[in-house]
C-alpha cells in the first residue's frame, strides 16, 4: 500500500529536515506515507505533508479552528479545518484529540501500544507525548474519527482533556515515584484536584482556561508557579535533614573552596556556614527552602520531615496583560489526612466559583486578581491575609485606611487562635 507516485506532494524544503543527527519528524511522517499498511493514512499524511511544505514555502499557517467535540462533551478536541483543503483534500479535516495522560506521565509499553493501535485505526497514527498543556496530543483525524477513537479509548480508561475556557488537564512531576526531594504526594493531589472538576473539564463554561499543576518541591520541575492558575508546591516547615558524615565526605571529595563557592555563598538568605570540622551549620529559621544546597549535595542534605504544600495562584502566559507568576495564597498547608485534601479541593472550588462569577470574558484568574486587588480576591475566597503573600508591604500612601482598627484586631485574633 502506498500513495501513487504521481500523487505524492513534493517536499523539497521539508526534505532538508531529514538531514542532521537529531531524529527527524519528517522521516517519521514519510514512513507513514510510504510504508504504513493503510491507504487512508498514506493519503492523509501525504496531503498533510503537502500542506506543511506549502506553509514552509509561503511562511504562513493554513489551519482554522471550528467546533468539534464528542457526544456528551463540549470540548477536548482542537478542531482543524484546512484553508487550502482543495489542494490537500485528504487532510482537510485534521483535528487533534487531547487526552489526559495518567498522572505523572507513567506508561507501560502495553498501554502505549494499545493507544497507538486505536489511533492508527481511527486517526493519522501521529502522536505527541505530551503537548505544553500536558495532554497526549493525538494529531490528525476527521470529525467522525474523533468520536470512534474517543469511544474506543474511553472504554479502557482514558478520557478527554480540556480545551477552551474550562478547567484544563492537570500536570504533576514524577515526585514521590522517584525523587528524594518530593515533599508531598503529587500524584494524589493531581487526581484529587482535577478529577473533582471533570464536568468543568469537559464542558467549557468558565471565563477562560484554569490550570492545576503540582510540583513535589520548590525546584518546581512542573513549572507550576510560572504557568498554572493553581500551583501546589511541596515543601517542609521543620529543619532540613543534614547527614554530617555525608557532608564531610562531600567536602573531602570536592574541597572546601568548592563547597564555599557553590553551596555556602550561594544560599540566598546566608543561612549556611561551613564549620571547622567540615560539617555544615544551618540557620533553619531563615532558610527559605530554595533547594539549592540540597540540589548540590543530594546525598548529604535532605528536606525536613514535617511536609506540606505552599499554594500559589494566578500564573499565566502573555495574553493579555503580560506574563504573571503565581502569588502565594497559602504559605503552608499540612497534607496528611483525607480532610487536608478535601480542604485544598474546597479552596479550588471557592476560587473557581468566585472567578466564574467575577472574571471578565477571556480573563485569567491572575488577571482578575490584578484587576480587583489581592485583598479583595482573598476576601472573596475566604482566606486571611498573610505577610508571606508579599515581597514587601505597600509603598504608596494613597490608600483609604479607615478600617485599620478592625483589621488590626482581626490579625491579633487570628494570631491568638
201/383 with CB nearer another protein: 201
- Cα dist. 308→5, 331, 334, 337, 396 in Å? 62, 10, 4, 11, 35
108/415 with CB nearer another protein: 108
225/381 with CB nearer another protein: 225
Q: Which residues contact 193 (CB under 8 A, 6 or more apart)?
A: 170, 212, 214, 230, 232, 344, 345, 348
3-state secondary structure of 136: strand
60/334 with CB nearer another protein: 60
* End-to-end Cα distance, the chain: 75
* Least Å from the CB of residue 188 to another protein: 10
58/376 with CB nearer another protein: 58
Q: Which of 108, 115, 223 is nearest to 170 (CA)?
A: 223
* Least Å from the CB of residue 386 to another protein: 17
- Angstrom distance (rounded) from CA 414 to CA 416: 5
- Angstrom distance (rounded) from CA 338 to CA 301: 30
358's grid cell? 467575577
173/352 with CB nearer another protein: 173
Q: Which of 63, 64, 141, 52 is nearest to 99 (CA)?
A: 141
* Least Å from the CB of residue 375 to another protein: 18
Angle of helix 338-358 relative to helix 365-372, nearest 10 degrees, comes to 70
115/383 with CB nearer another protein: 115
* Least Å from the CB of residue 12 to another protein: 9
> Residue 37 half-sphere exposure, CB side, CA atoms within 13 Å?
1
* Least Å from the CB of residue 395 to another protein: 11
Amino acid at each position: 500500500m502506498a500513495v501513487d507516485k504521481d500523487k505524492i506532494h513534493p517536499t523539497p524544503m521539508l526534505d532538508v529536515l531529514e538531514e542532521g543527527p537529531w531524529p527527524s519528524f519528517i522521516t517519521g511522517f514519510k514512513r507513514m506515507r510510504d510504508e504504513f499498511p493503510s491507504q487512508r493514512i498514506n493519503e492523509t499524511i501525504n496531503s498533510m505533508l503537502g500542506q506543511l511544505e506549502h506553509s514552509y514555502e509561503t511562511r504562513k499557517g493554513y489551519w482554522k479552528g471550528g467546533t468539534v467535540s464528542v457526544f456528551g462533551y463540549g470540548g477536548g478536541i482542537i478542531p482543524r479545518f484546512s484553508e487550502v483543503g482543495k489542494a490537500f483534500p485528504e487532510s482537510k479535516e485534521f483535528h487533534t484529540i487531547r487526552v489526559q495522560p495518567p498522572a505523572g506521565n507513567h506508561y507501560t509499553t502495553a498501554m502505549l501500544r494499545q493507544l497507538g493501535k486505536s489511533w492508527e485505526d481511527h486517526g493519522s497514527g501521529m502522536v505527541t507525548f505530551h503537548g505544553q498543556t500536558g495532554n497526549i496530543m493525538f494529531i490528525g483525524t476527521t470529525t467522525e474519527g474523533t468520536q470512534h477513537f474517543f469511544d474506543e479509548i474511553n472504554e479502557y480508561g482514558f478520557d478527554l482533556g480540556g480545551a477552551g475556557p474550562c478547567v484544563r488537564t492537570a500536570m504533576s512531576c514524577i515526585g514521590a515515584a522517584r525523587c528524594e526531594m518530593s515533599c508531598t504526594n503529587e500524584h494524589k493531589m493531581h487526581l484529587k484536584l482535577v478529577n473533582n472538576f471533570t464536568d468543568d473539564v469537559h464542558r467549557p463554561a468558565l471565563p477562560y482556561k484554569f490550570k492545576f499543576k503540582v510540583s513535589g518541591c520548590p525546584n518546581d520541575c512542573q513549572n507550576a508557579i510560572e504557568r498554572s492558575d493553581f500551583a501546589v508546591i511541596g515543601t517542609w516547615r521543620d529543619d532540613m535533614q543534614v547527614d554530617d558524615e555525608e557532608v564531610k565526605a562531600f567536602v573531602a571529595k570536592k574541597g572546601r573552596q568548592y563547597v564555599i563557592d557553590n553551596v555556602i555563598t550561594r544560599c540566598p538568605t546566608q543561612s549556611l556556614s561551613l564549620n571547622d570540622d567540615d560539617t555544615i551549620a544551618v540557620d533553619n529559621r531563615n532558610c527559605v527552602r530554595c533547594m539549592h544546597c540540597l540540589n548540590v549535595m543530594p546525598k548529604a542534605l535532605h528536606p525536613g520531615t514535617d511536609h506540606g504544600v505552599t499554594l500559589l495562584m494566578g500564573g499565566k502566559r502573555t495574553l493579555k496583560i503580560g506574563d504573571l507568576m503565581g502569588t502565594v495564597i497559602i504559605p503552608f498547608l499540612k497534607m496528611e489526612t483525607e480532610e487536608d485534601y478535601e480542604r485544598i479541593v474546597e479552596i479550588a472550588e471557592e476560587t473557581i466559583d468566585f472567578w466564574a462569577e467575577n472574571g471578565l470574558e477571556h480573563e485569567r484568574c491572575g488577571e482578575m486578581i490584578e484587576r480587583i486587588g489581592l485583598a479583595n480576591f482573598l476576601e472573596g475566597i475566604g482566606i486571611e491575609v498573610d505577610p508571606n503573600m508579599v515581597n514587601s508591604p505597600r509603598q504608596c500612601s494613597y490608600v483609604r485606611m479607615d478600617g485599620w482598627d478592625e483589621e488590626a484586631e482581626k490579625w491579633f485574633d487570628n494570631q491568638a487562635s
